[in-house]
């Protein structure tokens, strides 16, 4: 059944609406009963909302909503929003990560106050991300990006009595504010050149020709900067190590998986729709070659992330850097787009999307494992992880799966998605990008395996005591691990969908 034949058009935004309503519902619950900390109810509501939104997205996706088969993308409210396969695909990523994070938070926040705020902030941020995926106007992009960002700042600084959390929040906020200013300035410059904020119209104006290549270039670069902040790419990545390290681990998971994916979602759409490469590389006697820009950023980002991660002593910070490295991989999706790429453009973009999906599972899982370790009060360094496997073999196995998958080792999802990504890059002629990625993957194996080594091979220096067996965290981690493993044999539908929906952008 194709859902929108029976539903009104606005219903296509249902995932975002469901999420927003869930957020409001959480506020309501918190308002009605502010003092009691009914963790189960809050976490359950948030999870249910996320799952419902995800379910709807999946249903739409299977039904072909906004895709070629049902008449193409659905454009709403004066082109401010567009619902197509890509937005639904990313919604699926956001909601699944959100669901895992909220389930895990049930245990993580058990001893905290203000849980209502926490869940509502998470759900609103997810709403913002979903909207980012749908945004079809720079105005909507900016506003929804802020909707995703502002709760994130608060979430990072959520542990008000933890200096790390505060410091992380501060740095995240400051760099974020700066980046959003840069982003806004970029938008203003693009507006100066084209007189429009709606993405297809920007493209249309540019196609008519303009002499203002310099202004446009500056604008595009600054917009790219805004996305680079969101995706934690060089040179806007500086917040990431501290924010991921200092934030409560579920928030780190949320930010490094969902928020990063949201940044990519909007970047993919803005650059492919508003600034088609064939147009902007030939404006006014100059060119704005953002593909080259992203290629450069991709190489620097993945190299910096991996090298810096290699010598970390703190597992969480190592994962933070690895997350930067993965941003570099995903950037290949934009970097490998060429003027005459044809189908290859869709392939590489789709591969990048598929990688982000797999990454959503394995990286969220990894951070949630850290959340579990924090819950156990074991510390954050590699040393502190020594011998965990002897006490918690199932969780350690899951973490092992995440680590090897992140490193791109078979037989896990990370391998096949990385393979698809590099393969598509080569197909587009960017074999050197793939080579860079591959070499970086090899290096990454070193530090990922250190975690594994610590858990399974090292002996704990002091007697290891694990207090509780947090059910929610376990559920989330196992869910992520199973997803990571199953995405190897089940990669076919994922990559097929991703590449189909990506091809629709061109």
Partner 1 sequence: MIIEALIAVTFLAALVTFVLPDRYAGKAAFALSLAPVIGSLYMWQQYDASGNALLGGNIAFETDVVWLQLGQYDLHWMVGVDGISMPLVVLTTILTTLAIVSAWTPIAERQSQFFGLMLLMEANLLGVFTALDFFVWFVFWEAVLVPMYFLIGVWGGPRRKYAAIKFFVYTNIASLVMFIGFISLVFGLGDSITSLRLPEIAQALQAGQLGSFAGLSAGALASVAFIAMFFGFAVKVPVAPLHTWLPDAHVEAPTPVSVMLAGVLLKMGTYALLRFNFTMLPETARAFALPIALLAVASVIYGALLALAQQDLKRIVAYSSVSSMGYVILGLIAYTTYGVGGATFQMVAHGLISGLMFMAVGVIYNTTHTRMVSDMSGIADRMPVTAGIFVAGAFGYMGLPLMAGFAAEFFIFKGAFESTVMEAMPLFTGAAMFGIVIVAGYLLFAMQRTLFGPFRFDGDYDVTEAPFHDVAPLAVLLLLTIVLGVSPDIFFTMIQDAVNPILELGGAF
Partner 2 sequence: MTTKPQLKLGSHLVPGLAAVALFVVMAVVFLGASFPNPQGFAEGANITASIGYSMFNLDFGDVTGESFLVAFIVIAVTLDVALDGAIHLARREESGQMRTILTDGGRELKRTLLDSDDEEGDH
Partner 3 sequence: MVPPQYYLLLSAAVFCIGIFGLLTRRNALLFLMSVELMLNAANINLVAFSYYWGNVTGQTFTLFTLALAAAEVAVGIGIILVLYRNFDGVDVTNATTMRW
292 touching partner 3, by CB under 8 A:
no
Min. distance of Cβ 314 from partner 3 in angstroms?
9
The tokens of 203 are what? 């493209």
Min. distance of Cβ 457 from partner 1 in angstroms?
4
The tokens of 351 are what? 């591969």
Residues 6+ apart with CB under 8 A from 269: 82, 86, 87, 133, 135, 136, 199, 505
182 touching partner 3, by CB under 8 A:
yes
- What is the maximum span of the chain, computed from C-alpha positions, in angstroms? 71
Helix ranges (DSSP H) in 10-84: 14-32, 39-63
The tokens of 457 are what? 């091979």
Whose tokens are 């008519």? That residue is 208
255 sits in which H/E element: none
CA dist 334 and 392 (Å) reads 40
**Residue from 139, 178, 445, 475 binding partner 1 (CB under 8 A):** 445
**11, 83 Cβ separation under 8 angstroms:** no
**184, 142 Cβ separation under 8 angstroms:** yes
DSSP tag of 10: G
213 touching partner 3, by CB under 8 A:
no
76 touching partner 2, by CB under 8 A:
yes
Min. distance of Cβ 138 from partner 2 in angstroms?
10
CA angle 34/36/38 to nearest 5° reads 105
462 touching partner 3, by CB under 8 A:
no
Min. distance of Cβ 414 from partner 1 in angstroms?
12
177 touching partner 3, by CB under 8 A:
yes
Site for partner 1 in 322-361 (CB under 8 A): 347
Which x/- pattern, by CB under 8 A, does the window 359-398 give for partner 1? -------------------------------x--------
Min. distance of Cβ 240 from partner 3 in angstroms?
11
314 burial level (CB within 10 Å; 0-12, 13-18, 19+): middle
Min. distance of Cβ 454 from partner 1 in angstroms?
10
Q: What are phi and psi of 467, to 5 degrees?
A: -70, -75
247 touching partner 3, by CB under 8 A:
no
**420, 355 Cβ separation under 8 angstroms:** yes
Q: How many CB atoms lie within 10 A of CB 471?
A: 11
Which x/- pattern, by CB under 8 A, does the window 28-67 give for partner 2? ----------------------------------------
Give the CA-trace dihedral at 46, 49, 53, 54, to 10 degrees: 60
* Segment lying near partner 3 (by CB under 8 A), choices 177-185, 384-392, 418-426, 496-504: 177-185
Could you tell me how far CA 255 lies from the centroid of its own chain?
7
Pick between residue 120 and residue 497 the one whose CB is nearest to partner 2.
Answer: 120
- The residues of the shown chain that bind partner 1, judged by CB under 8 A, are 347, 390, 404, 409-411, 415-416, 419-420, 423-424, 426-427, 429, 431, 434-435, 438-439, 441-442, 445-446, 449-450, 452-453, 456-458, 488-489, 491-492, 495-496
Q: Which residues bind partner 3 (CB under 8 A)?
A: 139, 142-143, 146, 150, 153-154, 157, 160-161, 163-164, 166-171, 173-174, 177-178, 180-182, 184-185, 187-189, 191-192, 195-197, 215, 241-242, 245-246, 308, 317
């Amino acid at each position: 059944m194709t859902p929108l034949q029976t539903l009104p058009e606005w219903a296509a935004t249902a995932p975002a609406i469901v999420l927003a309503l869930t957020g409001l519902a959480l506020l309501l619950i918190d308002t009605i009963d502010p003092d009691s900390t009914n963790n189960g109810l809050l976490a359950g509501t948030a999870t249910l909302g996320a799952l419902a939104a995800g379910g709807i997205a999946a249903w739409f996706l299977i039904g072909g909503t906004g895709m070629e088969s049902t008449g193409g993308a659905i454009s709403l409210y004066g082109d401010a929003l567009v619902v197509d396969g890509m937005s639904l695909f990313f919604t699926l990523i956001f909601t699944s990560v959100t669901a895992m994070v909220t389930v895990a938070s049930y245990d993580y926040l058990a001893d905290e106050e203000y849980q209502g705020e926490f869940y509502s902030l998470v759900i609103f941020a997810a709403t913002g991300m979903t909207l980012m995926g749908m945004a079809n106007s720079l105005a909507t992009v900016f506003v929804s990006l802020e909707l995703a960002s502002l709760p994130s700042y608060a979430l990072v600084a959520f542990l008000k009595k933890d200096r790390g959390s505060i410091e992380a929040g501060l740095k995240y906020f400051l760099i974020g504010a700066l980046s959003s200013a840069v982003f806004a300035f970029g938008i203003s410059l693009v507006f100066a050149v084209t007189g429009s904020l709606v993405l297809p119209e920007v493209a249309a104006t540019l196609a008519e020709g303009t002499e203002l290549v310099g202004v446009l270039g500056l604008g595009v670069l600054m917009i790219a900067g805004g996305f680079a902040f969101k995706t934690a790419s060089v040179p806007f990545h500086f917040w990431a190590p501290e924010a991921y390290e200092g934030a409560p681990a579920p928030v780190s998971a949320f930010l490094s998986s969902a928020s990063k994916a949201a940044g990519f979602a909007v970047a993919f759409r803005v650059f492919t729709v508003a600034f088609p490469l064939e147009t902007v590389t030939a404006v006014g006697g100059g060119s704005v070659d953002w593909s080259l820009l992203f290629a450069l950023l991709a190489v620097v980002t993945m190299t910096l992330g991996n090298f810096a991660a290699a010598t970390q002593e703190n597992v969480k910070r190592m994962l933070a850097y690895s997350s930067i490295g993965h941003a570099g991989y995903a950037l290949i999706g934009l970097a490998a787009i060429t003027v005459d790429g044809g189908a290859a453009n869709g392939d590489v973009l789709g591969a990048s999307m598929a990688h982000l999906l797999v990454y959503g599972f394995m990286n969220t899982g990894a951070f949630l494992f850290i959340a579990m370790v924090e819950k156990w009060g074991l510390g954050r360094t590699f040393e502190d992880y020594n011998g965990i496997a002897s006490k918690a073999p199932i969780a350690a196995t899951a973490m092992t799966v995440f680590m090897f998958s992140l490193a791109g080792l078979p037989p896990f999802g990370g391998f096949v998605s990385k393979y698809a990504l590099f393969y598509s890059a080569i197909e587009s002629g960017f074999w050197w990008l793939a080579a860079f990625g591959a070499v970086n993957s090899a290096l990454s194996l070193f530090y990922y395996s250190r975690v594994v080594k610590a858990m399974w091979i090292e002996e704990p220096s002091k007697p290891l005591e694990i207090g509780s067996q947090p059910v929610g965290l376990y559920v989330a981690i196992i869910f992520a691990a199973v997803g990571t493993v199953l995405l190897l044999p089940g990669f076919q539908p994922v990559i097929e969908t991703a590449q189909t929906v990506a091809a629709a952008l061109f």
